[in-house]
Chain A
């Protein structure tokens, strides 16, 4: 942070930003969508921004990320407390870990094995621990749970100690290190971070991990287990799923969709997408709730039962499940999955299969019935038959060859990369990383910068509406209106004036391309 100068443009109070953006020249160029142009402030009012769906949204409508942390905060605020202790937790943790290490040598078999007393273990940028309220280890990102059982015991002790005084521990800020606590009975999640992310951002990530666990077991089952046996070792039930949590954490560091609470689409001509959507729509079944077609990490289309909405968190959990396991590559998978934002009490059942063994196109059919496998299998067959007769199938396969686009197409010389989220559709678009951000390291660094900007725009007490930041390696601009969220990355030679004009230019370009980049006509059965 020290190497860059910060310029916060306008800071709006805690109330929702009422944008008075001077430029009104965002009328869509497309005459066909004249009714959208009638809006007095196109692009600013929610629902008229580029990428907004024309009928109804596909997802549960949400104020992006506020709703994620909202319940966590309600809970804490209701107890009216905020506990921030300056402490030397690292030292505490270290001592305990070393002790444990001495009497625990049976960990050789785990590939995640790592000496938890080593400097390397300690210097990981972000640790995540999950434990039960009895203090039993459930998950650790690095090392093994066994080796960390006393460390987790200490964490639980901290939580209980503060709780005993009718208070809640939220975070500890130690030297260069943040420890964030999230209590979600019957689980406790702890994040230890050396990044610049705010507490709120870290909590959001812990929430994702919590939902990941719920999606495997349901909250009902979780509660049931711990009501009957407080010291149950939950790893027994989660065995074989650690890689899902590992992968989700990896995504949280890299995937803008998780940051923006949005999903990105495979760029596809809208005519082709509509054909694909209607093929999915035509294969309905009594208990089928959602049909989702993915191309890697990109959404091709989503068809849902009328009045049923999928939350982006649930969709990301589905993405994570599909993306993390190669076991769906062949044959047809059938698995229970709880979609926690939809219902934490029960399982849906997902039929997961690739349209062709070598293709990236993965079809997910979500049913409410445990015994619906053959019906879903039949739906898949029907979709495949219908699709293979249409030229749109070929178009889609061609689109898979170049699932992204270059930022050069936008035609703004100093622009290197951007993230644009249409709030009302819950979809975002972003070009591929340019030359300068080719390495994993550089990409994660850029994501880190976006995360910083995101923290500023969504600061709990002082949210910013616009934020410009000059750095040595790049200049960044972030902007939020009620309709969209935009993050731009410019070369360090760019100026603020250029950045401001780029916003308008970019929005025009997205409006022009929105047919291809977004799903404008989401369908229902």
Chain B
């Protein structure tokens, strides 16, 4: 443990917004070993907040759409291989006018969950623009995961699963379809990211690299039995 701690504190930045906040705030919040920043990105109304609420509270935000204002910051501690990993999750507003604020927080993020809505072609088409932005503002080694949300809405689907897969492959990022409503793959998306980050942070030289793609493939649920293949 002590070796890890030492290596991590090296990465602390000067203004107190450390990348790996060890034991800070432990007395107030839940105890945790290691913390990571995860950011949710994507067009307005693709379901970023809903995914987060599903993951954090296991509930679905039905009813009217409530646009997130600016950035919303929440924590959740998860267990990864017997280690308490605190995910600091930035839920961002999809609206254009908040772009400049979100840009400022890109570079702090260690993982990005990029969402589109399988019932909205436009949100899918914008993914390339999002990825361009990410390459411009985020850290070089940031973990990116592409999520096609609202997989429960089979009848209104306009983006095929394969299209998502192809795009993800082009950019070399893992991909899955999720549903905040039914909870399909939501937990997995966050856990896979947590695992990847935890492995990166604690990896010993002789240890095999964590294969996020393989992990996801082995764990993920196909989105509904009636998906058109």
Asked if A325 meets B71 with Cβ closer than 8 Å, knowing A238-B97, A239-B44, A331-B91, the reply is: no
Q: Is the Cβ of A327 less than 8 Å from the Cβ of B64?
A: no
Name the one of B64, B98, B104 contacting A335, with C-beta atoms under 8 angstroms.
B98
Name the one of B28, B44, B67, B75 contacting A327, with C-beta atoms under 8 angstroms.
B67
* List of B residues within 8 angstroms of A217 by Cβ: 97
Q: Is the Cβ of B73 less than 8 Å from the Cβ of A335?
A: no
Best-surrounded residue of A326, A331, A377 (most CB of chain B within 10 A): A331
CA distance A352 to B95 in the complex (A): 19
Name the one of B28, B71, B95, B105 contacting A240, with C-beta atoms under 8 angstroms.
B95
Q: Is the Cβ of B69 less than 8 Å from the Cβ of A321?
A: yes
Q: Does B72 contact A (CB under 8 A)?
A: yes
Q: Does B25 contact A (CB under 8 A)?
A: yes
* List of A residues within 8 angstroms of B226 by Cβ: none
Q: Write the nearest CB–CB distance from B12 to chain A, whole angstroms.
A: 12
Q: Is the Cβ of B73 less than 8 Å from the Cβ of A328?
A: no
- B135-153 interface mask toward A, CB cutoff 8 Å, 1 = contact, 0 = none? 0000000000000000000
Q: Write the nearest CB–CB distance from A238 to chain B, whole angstroms.
A: 7
- Which A residue sits closest to B95, measured CB to CB? A240
- Which B residue sits closest to A381, measured CB to CB? B28
Q: Is the Cβ of B69 less than 8 Å from the Cβ of A370?
A: no
- Which A residue sits closest to B68, measured CB to CB? A327
Name the one of A111, A236, A328 contacting B69, with C-beta atoms under 8 angstroms.
A328
On chain A, which size bracket covers the interface? 20 to 34
- B52-87 interface mask toward A, CB cutoff 8 Å, 1 = contact, 0 = none? 010010000000101111111111000000000000
CA distance A217 to B104 in the complex (A): 17
Name the one of B73, B91, B98, B105 contacting A377, with C-beta atoms under 8 angstroms.
B73
Q: Is the Cβ of A334 less than 8 Å from the Cβ of B73?
A: yes
- A213-236 interface mask toward B, CB cutoff 8 Å, 1 = contact, 0 = none? 000110000000000000000001
Q: Is the Cβ of A239 less than 8 Å from the Cβ of B73?
A: no
CA distance A243 to B70 in the complex (A): 15
Q: Is the Cβ of A336 less than 8 Å from the Cβ of B25?
A: no
Q: Does B17 contact A (CB under 8 A)?
A: yes
Q: Does A374 contact B (CB under 8 A)?
A: yes
Name the one of A239, A333, A374 contacting B17, with C-beta atoms under 8 angstroms.
A374
Q: Does B110 contact A (CB under 8 A)?
A: no
Q: Does A246 contact B (CB under 8 A)?
A: no
Q: Write the nearest CB–CB distance from A289 to chain B, whole angstroms.
A: 17
Q: Is the Cβ of A333 less than 8 Å from the Cβ of B71?
A: yes
Name the one of B66, B91, B98 contacting A325, with C-beta atoms under 8 angstroms.
B66
* List of A residues within 8 angstroms of B104 by Cβ: 370-371
* List of B residues within 8 angstroms of A334 by Cβ: 70-73, 101
Q: Does A373 contact B (CB under 8 A)?
A: yes
CA distance A238 to B67 in the complex (A): 11
Q: Is the Cβ of A240 less than 8 Å from the Cβ of B72?
A: no
Q: Write the nearest CB–CB distance from A150 to chain B, whole angstroms.
A: 26
* List of B residues within 8 angstroms of A336 by Cβ: 70, 98, 100-101
Q: Is the Cβ of A335 less than 8 Å from the Cβ of B97?
A: no
Q: Does A414 contact B (CB under 8 A)?
A: no
* List of B residues within 8 angstroms of A326 by Cβ: 66
Query: Which residues between 104 and 149 of chain B lie within 8 Å of chain A, taking CB atoms?
Result: 104-105
Asked if A327 meets B69 with Cβ closer than 8 Å, knowing A373-B105, A381-B28, the reply is: yes
CA distance A385 to B16 in the complex (A): 19
* List of A residues within 8 angstroms of B49 by Cβ: 327
Asked if A325 meets B69 with Cβ closer than 8 Å, knowing A240-B44, A371-B104, the reply is: yes
Q: Does B41 contact A (CB under 8 A)?
A: no
Q: Write the nearest CB–CB distance from A43 to chain B, whole angstroms.
A: 42
Q: Does B93 contact A (CB under 8 A)?
A: yes
* List of B residues within 8 angstroms of A333 by Cβ: 69-73
Name the one of B64, B74, B96 contacting A330, with C-beta atoms under 8 angstroms.
B74
CA distance A217 to B97 in the complex (A): 7
CA distance A375 to B104 in the complex (A): 15
CA distance A331 to B69 in the complex (A): 12
CA distance A375 to B96 in the complex (A): 26
CA distance A326 to B64 in the complex (A): 11
Q: Is the Cβ of B25 less than 8 Å from the Cβ of A335?
A: no
Q: Write the nearest CB–CB distance from B190 to chain A, whole angstroms.
A: 15
* List of A residues within 8 angstroms of B71 by Cβ: 333-335, 373
CA distance A378 to B68 in the complex (A): 22
Query: Which residues between 344 and 387 of chain A lie within 8 Å of chain B, taking CB atoms?
Result: 349-350, 352, 370-371, 373-375, 377-378, 381, 385
Best-surrounded residue of B17, B74, B94 (most CB of chain A within 10 A): B17
CA distance A243 to B56 in the complex (A): 26
CA distance A373 to B16 in the complex (A): 11
- Which A residue sits closest to B70, measured CB to CB? A335
* List of A residues within 8 angstroms of B75 by Cβ: 331
Q: Does A241 contact B (CB under 8 A)?
A: yes
Q: Is the Cβ of A240 less than 8 Å from the Cβ of B16?
A: no
* List of A residues within 8 angstroms of B74 by Cβ: 330-332
- A439-459 interface mask toward B, CB cutoff 8 Å, 1 = contact, 0 = none? 000000000000000000000
* List of A residues within 8 angstroms of B44 by Cβ: 239-240
CA distance A239 to B97 in the complex (A): 8
- Which A residue sits closest to B105, measured CB to CB? A373
Q: Write the nearest CB–CB distance from B144 to chain A, whole angstroms.
A: 22
Best-surrounded residue of A326, A333, A375 (most CB of chain B within 10 A): A333
Asked if A236 meets B72 with Cβ closer than 8 Å, knowing A327-B49, A334-B101, the reply is: no
Q: Write the nearest CB–CB distance from B209 to chain A, whole angstroms.
A: 31
CA distance A325 to B91 in the complex (A): 15
* List of B residues within 8 angstroms of A352 by Cβ: 69
CA distance A412 to B150 in the complex (A): 60
In addition to A334-B73, A335-B98, A373-B71, 12 A-B residue pairs with Cβ atoms within 8 Å of each other are: A238-B97, A331-B74, A332-B74, A333-B69, A333-B73, A335-B101, A336-B100, A350-B70, A370-B101, A375-B16, A377-B73, A381-B28
Interface residues of B (CB under 8 A from A): 15-17, 25, 28, 44, 49, 53, 56, 64, 66-75, 91, 93-98, 100-101, 104-105
Can you name 18 A-B pairs with beta carbons within 8 Å? A216-B97, A239-B44, A239-B97, A240-B44, A240-B93, A240-B95, A241-B97, A327-B72, A330-B56, A331-B74, A333-B73, A334-B72, A334-B101, A335-B98, A350-B70, A370-B100, A374-B16, A381-B25
A-B residue pairs, 7 tightest by C-beta: A335-B70, A240-B67, A331-B74, A374-B17, A332-B73, A334-B71, A237-B97
